[in-house]
Structure 1
Amino acid sequence: MRAITLGAVSTIALSAGMSRPAASQTAPQQLAPVVVQESAAKRKPTAASRRAATARSAASRRANSRNANAPQAVPATAPAREIAWGHVDGYVATRSGTGTKTDTPLIETPQSVSVVTQDQIQAQGLQSIAQAVRYVPGTRSEVLGSDGRFDQVYIRGFLADQYLDSMRLVNFGIFGYPIVEPFNLERVEVLRGPSSILYGQASPGGVVNMVSKRPTEDPYHEMFVSTGSYGRVQSGVDLSGPLDKNKEFLYRLTASGYDVGSQVDTRSYQRVSIAPSLTWRPDNQTTLTIQGVYQRDPKAGFYNQLLPRGVGMITPYNGQYIPTSFFSGQPGFDRTSRDFTSIGYQFEHKFDGGLTVRQNLRYMDNASYSAVTSPDVNLTDPTKLTRGAYTTQEAIRSFSMDNQAEGKFRVGAFEHTVLFGIDYRYATDNAINGSGTATTINALNPVYGPSPIITLTQKRDQKIEQLGFYAQDQITFNNWVALLGIRRDQANSKSTSTSLLTNAITAVDQTDSATSKRGALLYKFDNGISPYVQYTESFQPAVGTGFNGLPFVPTRGQQYEAGIKYQPNAKSIYTMALFDLKQQNVLTTDLLHPLFSVQTGEIRSRGLELEAKTEVTRDLTVLGSYTYLDQKVTSTNNAAQLGQRPTGMPRHSANLWADYTFHSGPLDGFGFSAGVRYLGDTAGNNANTFFVPSVTLVDAGLHYDFGALNKEWKGFTGQVNANNLFDKTYVTLCQDFGCYYGLRREVIATLRYRW
């Protein structure tokens, strides 16, 4: 696997390099979705963009850094404008399409949106979507520690839905979660708060939208190799540019893979990912981009939950702690694998008169297998871990389509950007479950017995179908910006469960409909300050029935938000948001019939979020965030949980990251970075009688541009990143039925070449 991973991507990269020995090193020009962009100079280089994109414009940047005061030539064309779906040099994005589905400046978007750029992902050595949001306010991720099977992100205390290019990555809440390779992405965007107006059935917490890399108008080539902790072997290539002289056809190919162990004995991860795309531009008004992904994860993660209440983890058991390397499963039996395939396109045509039509379509196939051996719940003695064994073979197939018509026009003094959309989603899930028993083991001195014997117990087939109609109007009047929207959804689902032991069949059909609304108002002062207020809603179907046999109604969410955005220049953005969010119809245990649920729950989430992203000088870039989250159960049929905090969500969290790069003198090309992440204490059980202690983690990095040493090495950069630098042992999550250790120190060294 290691040889295949490293050799395959290296061969692709070297072949491309030999065929294009004099390829352009200018920044890759991202194709705008409405008009064809011409080759243009990028904005002035910064500390972050210089390191992450040195080879894209190495010659001009080196000249500027050696003589910053020298007169600069006037470019023949205007600097390329950042677009909502394109590349960003550095850490600071100024536009996004996630909050409105239109190309809108963040300073004019009256909702909390954070953008994590590919440059930031590479600079911080991030390996997953959960890691990518480490420094984003209002989020909680990596809650399962070294268990990376799901890549989940929580926003404002609620599990967020994940989207790829604004289309849902469907899962059915079992094991078949689609996981996206971050190297294939241009940016990761976090939209906080209910977002059903644009995305239909969705979490009240918000949306994580991942934007894929698209073909570029200018040639761009990149290759990297990495090594580090746990025997890491990793490499990747990113190749893009025109296929013909007229640049009517553009291509992009990203390929990557890795083989790496983990802090847990006998457990490792493997992945191979290939993402080709092709853009056809028959004229300046029409764009068709076809995108595909094939990703195979032969080793996609593992389950490793330990005892509840932190026994042997937070508090010692008979003076001993369970090692972080302990595996609670069964070697030789436990495994998780995933095969993910998708194909789709993004079509856009611009008519005269300000009308643009789009159609985005994707078919996805996600097949997974999971074999898990897990400790039973309510255990108190780590030397006697009784365990059960479970298997699930699951196949998810989904089809998504989003049709949009965007119109720009003026009525008197009012400028309108109107968006009408119809989206459709159809998905099926077929799963076969099995169970068995496993031997009891001692977590302090494990001796694993024979592998479990599994009996297939259940076959489950599910189908969901959603049709949504939405309308949105962005109205500008002088410095005022209003955002109004409404949506109507119809969602149908069918679930059939067949017992493989008795042949008994249980079927549930469910139909839900909902109307969601959004209204927001923002005022943009000339000094870059934009205060705003907003109201928005969400709905999310709840699958299943109660004891009475009636299907559950959808959960509903409502949020009031007020905030301030400040953008003094194109290299800095500061935001503050106050929010009050409620979710109703939450499922709780039926006290009269404990095997069933009732919808008596309500959760209220209030808080404050602060974020700063600024390229202070050419040398210094700083990221910072703070979150205050007051989340409570405000309605339940269980008196012990009323007024309590949900598990796993800290009341206080804060992050700070800084990168400094030298641009002259004996240290020219050298840089270093450091980050601090603080996670406050969290409730360790539903009754809030036990809390997981707070933790502070330190990250650090070093990087060097070899072109500063010798012009013949132009395009080569090296970096070393260390996460949890001081190797702190901590518990990241406890729930009523178990706890998880957090990630230990991991060091990754990367050599990158761009040409």
Structure 2
Amino acid sequence: MAFATTPILAQTAEKTSRVAYDISPQPLSQALVQFSRVAGVQLFFNADLARGVSSKGAKGPLTKTEALDRILAGSGLIYRFTNATTVTISNPSDAATGSVAADGATALAPIVVQAGKENGFVSTDGNVASKSDIPLLETPQSVQVVTRAQLDVQKPQTVRQAIAYSAGITTPDSPDNRLDNFLVRGFQVDQYYNGLKLQQGTWSTPKVDPFFLDSVEVLQGPASVLYGQGSPGGILNLVGKKPTDEPLHEIQLQSGSYNRAQAAFDFSGPVNDDGTLLYRLTGLGRTTGTQVENQREERVEIAPAVTIKPDEGTKVTILGDYLNDPRGGFWSRLPTAGTLVPTSRGTYFPTDLFTGDKGFDHMRRQQESIGYEFEHQFDDIWTIRQNLRFQHMSVDYAELQPASLAADGHTLNRSAYTAQEQLNTLAIDNQAEADFDTGALAHKALFGLDYQYKNWNNFTRYGAGPSLDLNDPDYTQPVTTPPVFQSAKQRQSQVGLYAQDQLKFDQWALLLSGRQDWTSTDSDNYMTGASTNQDDHAFTWRAGLTYLFDNGFAPYVSYSTSFSPTIGVGPTGAPFKPTTGKQYEVGFKYQPTGFDSFITASLYDLRQRNYVTQTLTVPVVQTQVGEIRSRGAQVSAVASITDELNVTASYAYLDNEILKASDGTAGNRVANLPANTASLWADYKFQDGFAEGLGLGIGARYIGSRYTTNANTAKIPDHTVFDAALNYDLGKVSKEMHGATFALNVSNLFDKKFISDCTAAGCVYGMRRTIFATLGYKW
């Protein structure tokens, strides 16, 4: 029998003013956390009361009691204002049995939701794996989430640094910021921004500065069933900042290594009194030197956003972004002789060696995007959404690239390379979600139709460049314009139709997903005059089962698949088939009751088939026989142990093998994939005493040894890097400085010299020690 909520003593606690709430249907405990933050009240409740209970949410301008009535509707729970800022939530049956405390309130376990308290490093939700509000505990696939609180403490300068402490992810830790490469479970993965794919060319790869992010989500394993063509390794989703219901104002000034100068701001809040119009404006400007001499990086980025809520069930958020990198990165790869092994003179290159030309080298990147997120809730069952983004990008790039080191040990042979690219992309995702019951089964069904389009123009030149005498370098030599290497245009579109249903019975949760994709690729080679058209289609699916124990322990098993079109033709002239992936995964997730933590452990077997390799014959022939297997185990744990201490730790083991190939590499490991990686970060903030307001963080990252190429003839040594952070609330010094903070972040604390990664083109040194000081002010 359901009990109506009873706002006892609400008359003394209620305020006549209303606050705009935007709490979507979700697990009750998460809805209560959101209510606490918006309403500014402290909640006391037993976590067992909320376990397995869903809330229909609360939307629109509401009083506190109206919001609580909606959030608790149908739960059978009651609430009681013990004072104007404290609410106790209980079960009427507990009160009826006389289980009360001395003050008359229902006796509860010490579970407290404190208004205004940050989530810390722990995230229990994230829709990257389901495109819905299914909690991570019920998601039968590994997901890593980096929260805004963790980003604020560690202050990463790139997305690569933002995920450096996540399990099972390998990314270069180098000064080369032209591209962001992410390997998950041994495979390169695509980036998404707010759930829509950041489509790319060769150098026209969209960028997002970490300051503009609210969180980073990594779904590990095949994800084609919801996102279409992609890597079997998974996807990386960047969640951008959006308008907030509460006023937010922040400015930052940053300086540090390599004469860095950066200013940033973030403003947000309601525009009108009833909270139906919200805004956010985030911006950043930066200029800095780099680890490599004669190279600088510059960036200007601004992102305006507006949210319109015309009625209780409707919300539209318009998102814009403009990024301009006048100096967007540089080539820092050096020959293997002089980095991984000594030169013929027994020497090594310095880590700051510049090998280009001051007048020739440049990389200019510019991108603009506009889009929106629309949501309308018809009733307690149906909700529809449409997300759209158009993005334009242009890149102008030129480099003198080291090709080889001459036998004399000091003459560096170089190649001249230029690229001009233009990229236009469009992504649309339409969703309809239904929450309903059929007998004893509870359903969360999702139906979707999405579309992606890419129009990419590429013009490159490549040829011999002037050599560089390292004994007497001349960085202003004339460079002959190299011959045209490629002139092409490619248009690619994808249409996907997908459906998903989570069926819950008692403590079982079954997730079933299926999708059909149709892709079309048109390529024009302007050098040969040839045009090719290729159409592909694929069906992908996922099935996963989770059992939810009362203590927060949730074992699961799942199977998922992926596909990616392969452009080109085989020896017979027939088009290549799509590359496919499949994964078996078993594991468990643990979210202890009454303890703010989340633990994930998994075992997986992941395979990619039909990738193209080249034969060792003359002439060389491309064949689609490649197969790679990645088997592994990984564990990650994140905990806000107390209000003072946050900890995140991870370990991953990867057994990677090339099973089939026509280039003689069968039986080998894929290059740049370590078998062992581990990380640990601990952050402590003093809450009282003489050090009140002081925060200290220390972290360590271990990357195991790995091969330089798929031939497995040489290895990159393993390395361990330590990082540190210090932050201080200057308001603890004096009330006049309330809202002001100071932070000091150090990467590679002990200035470890190491090799980040290697390819057949050479090796890249890892980032040396960098120190950044940040002065911030919030009001």
TM-score range, shorter chain: 0.7 to 0.9
1:141 maps onto 2:165 in alignment:
no
Q: C-alpha separation between the residues in 1 aligned to 2:616 and 2:177?
A: 34
The structure 1 residue matched to 2:327, chosen from 299, 302, 311, is: 299
| CA-to-aligned-CA distance 1:202-258 (integer Å, 9 cap, x gap) | 111010001111111111111111000000001111100111111111000001121
Structure 1 stretch displaced more, 252-261 or 433-442: 433-442
Give yes or no for the alignment of 1:649 onto 2:648: no
1:289 aligns with 2:317: yes
Q: Provide the secondary structure at the position in 1 that maps to 2:165.
A: coil
1:349-386 deviation line (CA, Å, top 9, x unaligned): 00124100000011000111111211226977652321
* Aligned with residue 727 of structure 2, among 683, 703, 710: 703
SS of 1:494 mapped into structure 2: strand
Question: Which residue, 121, 133, 143 being the options, matches 1:91?
Answer: 121
The CA distance in 1 between the partners of 2:117 and 2:413, in whole Å, is 51
Q: Is 1:546 aligned to residue 570 of structure 2?
A: yes
Match of 2:539 among 490, 509, 515: 515
Q: Does 1:364 align with 2:373?
A: no
| 174-183 vs 371-380, greater mean Cα deviation | 371-380
**How far does residue 435 in structure 1 lie from its aligned partner after superposition?**
2.5
**1:40 corresponds to 2:39:** yes
TM-superposed deviation, 1:661: 1.1
Residue 458 (structure 2) aligned to one of 399, 415, 431: 431
Q: Quick one: distance in 2 between partners of 1:29 and 1:274?
A: 26
Preserved CA contact (<8 Å) 1:223 1:235: yes
Aligned position for 2:369: 342
Secondary structure of 1:254's counterpart equals strand
Residues 43 and 739 of structure 1, relative CA distance in 2, 3 Å threshold: farther
User: In the superposition, relative to structure 1, how do residues 426 and 382 fare at CA in structure 2: closer, same or farther (>3 Å)?
Assistant: farther
Aligned with 2:731: secondary structure?
helix
| Shift in Å, 1:449 | 5.2
Higher relative contact order (CA 8 A, sep 6+): 1
2:653 maps to 1:616: no
* Residue in structure 1 matched with residue 440 of structure 2 by the alignment: 413
**Residues 1:446 and 1:80: Cα distance change in structure 2 (over 3 Å):** farther
Q: Which residue of 2 is the match for residue 75 of structure 1?
A: 86
Structure 2 counterpart of 1:627: 652
- Measured at CA, do residues 408 and 379 of structure 1 come closer, stay the same or move farther in structure 2, by a change above 3 Å? farther
Q: Give how far 1:451 is off.
A: 3.5
Structure 1 residue 445: deviation in Å? 5.0
1:110-129, Cα deviation, whole Å (9 max, x unpaired):
11011111221121120111
Deviations 1:111-159 (A, max 9, x none): 101111122112112011111110000101125x111111221111111
The answer to whether the 8 Å contact 1:545/1:551 transfers is: yes
Stretch moving more, 715-724 or 562-571: 562-571
Residue 230 (1) aligns with residue 254 (2): no
Q: Which amino acid aligns with 2:576?
A: F
Q: Residues 635-669 of structure 1, C-alpha deviation per residue, up to 9 Å, x if partnerless?
A: 11233x11111111100010000011111111111
Deviation at 1:185, TM superposition (A): 1.3
1:402 aligns with 2:426: no
Cα 1:380–1:276 change in 2 (3 A) is farther
Residues 484 and 518 in structure 1, CA contact (< 8 A), matched pair in contact too: yes
- Ranges in structure 2 where 5+ consecutive residues have no aligned partner: 1-18, 45-81, 90-110
Q: What is the identity, as a one-letter code, of the residue corresponding to 2:707?
A: A
Change (3 A) 1:459 1:127: same
What CA RMSD, in Å, does the superposition of the two structures yield over aligned residues?
2.4
Matches of 1:439 and 1:107, distance apart in 2: 58
How far does residue 546 in structure 1 lie from its aligned partner after superposition? Answer: 3.4
Aligned partner of 1:53 in structure 2 is none
Task: Work out the CA distance in 1 between the residues paired with 2:86 and 2:696.
Answer: 32
Displacement of 1:29: 8.8
Residues 699 and 724 of structure 1 are in contact (CA less than 8 Å); yes or no, is this contact kept in structure 2?
yes
* Alignment equivalent of 1:151, drawn from 176, 180, 193: 180
Query: How does the TM-score come out when normalised to structure 2?
Result: 0.85
Query: How many Å separate the matches in 1 of 2:660 and 2:41?
Result: 54
SS in 2 for 1:376: strand
The verdict on how the C-alpha distance between 1:395 and 1:733 changes in structure 2, with shifts beyond 3 A counting, is same
- Does 2:302 align with 1:278? no
Query: Kindly tell me: are residues 596 and 292 of structure 1, through their superposed partners in 2, closer, same or farther at Cα, counting changes over 3 Å?
Result: farther
CA contact (8 A) 1:30 1:215 kept: no
Task: Give secondary structure in 1 for the equivalent of 2:150.
Answer: helix
Aligned partner of residue 439 in structure 1, secondary structure: coil
Structure 2: how far apart are the matches of 1:164 and 1:212?
7
CA distance in 1, matches of 2:770, 2:283: 23
Does the 8 Å CA contact 1:323/1:444 hold for their aligned counterparts? no
- Identical aligned pairs, as a percentage? 41
1:98 partner SS: helix
Amino acid at match of 2:766: G
Letter matched to residue 429 of structure 2: D
Partner of 1:463: 491
Answer yes or no: is 1:324 the counterpart of 2:351: yes
Query: Shift of the alpha carbon at 1:74?
Result: 4.0
Quickly say closer, same or farther: Cα 1:139–1:675, change in 2 above 3 A: same
> How far off its partner does 1:34 sit?
6.5
Q: Name 1:667's counterpart in structure 2.
A: 691
Alpha-carbon separation, structure 1, partners of 2:605 and 2:611: 17
1:448 shift after superposition: 3.2
Does structure 2 conserve the Cα–Cα contact (< 8 Å) formed by 1:269 and 1:300? yes
Find the aligned partners of 2:157 and 2:264 in 1 and give their Cα distance. Answer: 13
The alignment partner of 1:491 has SS state of strand
Change (3 A) 1:703 1:551: same
Q: Mapping of 1:106-185 within 5 angstroms?
A: 106-142=136-172, 145-172=174-201, 174-185=202-213
Which of the two has higher C-alpha Rg? 2
1:288-337 Cα distance to aligned partner (Å, 9 max, x none): 000000010111101121113x5444445423210011122222211111
Matched, 1:691 2:711: no
Q: SS of the counterpart of 1:419?
A: strand
Contact map agreement 2:609 2:627 (CA 8 A) in 1: yes
| TM value normalised by structure 1 | 0.88
Residues 214-223 or 733-742, more deviating: 733-742
With 279-288 and 562-571 compared, the bigger mean Cα shift is at 562-571
